[in-house]
Amino acid sequence: MLKIKLTLLSLLLFSSALNADVAVIYSMKDKPYFSMNIPDSWRVNVGSEADAAQLPEAEQAPPRVITVMPEEESILWFGAWVPFYLQNLDEAQEYLSSLDDFLVDKPVLVKTDDVNLNAMPARYFMGKGEREGKAVDFFVMLFQLSKENIGVAIYIGPPATTNAHKDVLRGMMKSISPIEE
């Protein structure tokens, strides 16, 4: 009986370690903006910051982007960033519209709403479209980090991948929290 209890206890402890998340902090120009929880087993790629001195005079440096993908062969893309030149949700929505053809072909909006994300005003968009001729789902969260900063988080992937990872993706979106200084 003791052996069974020890086995069950070790399984519980081991399985919770397998499902642990890692907090990732998004920062740019030495300033932290937000944190989000990412599953241990997922790959994280943090883009580098462009040197503004190396760009043409009228051009702005692109924001640093954090991308996240599962270790397995699932086809999906999850990215988050702070476009420092946007200051409110309406500007962010216009910015998002300018990315339509870049992120998803033939986007069809299924649902949108203004919500509260961890004490931040936020706006989400859910829809369907195509990427390289194949059907994809997309989910976008725009979030007001401060009076002068907006964050963007986007998921794009085929419907089967969306279904397989929807709880994890929802958890990552819901974990986004501002870093207060």
Per-residue pLDDT of the chain (181 residues; tens, 9 = 90+): 434 433 333 433 443 344 568 899 998 888 899 999 999 888 888 876 666 666 677 766 678 888 888 877 667 889 999 998 899 999 999 988 887 677 888 889 999 999 999 999 999 999 999 988 999 999 999 999 999 999 999 999 999 999 989 999 999 999 999 998 7
Sheet containing 31-39: order of strands: 21-28, 31-39, 177-178
Sign of the dihedral defined by the CA atoms of residues 81, 113, 128, 74, in that order: positive
CATH number at residue 51: 3.40.1000.10
Q: Is residue 149 part of a domain?
A: yes
> Would 12 be classed as within a structural domain?
no
Number of domains in the chain: 1
Please state the pTM of the whole predicted model: 0.81
Residue in this structure with the two tokens 């954090």, named with its chain if needed: 66
Tell me which residue range forms the domain holding 57: 21-178
Residue 10 lies in a domain: no
Residue 34 CB: number of other CB atoms within 10 A? 24
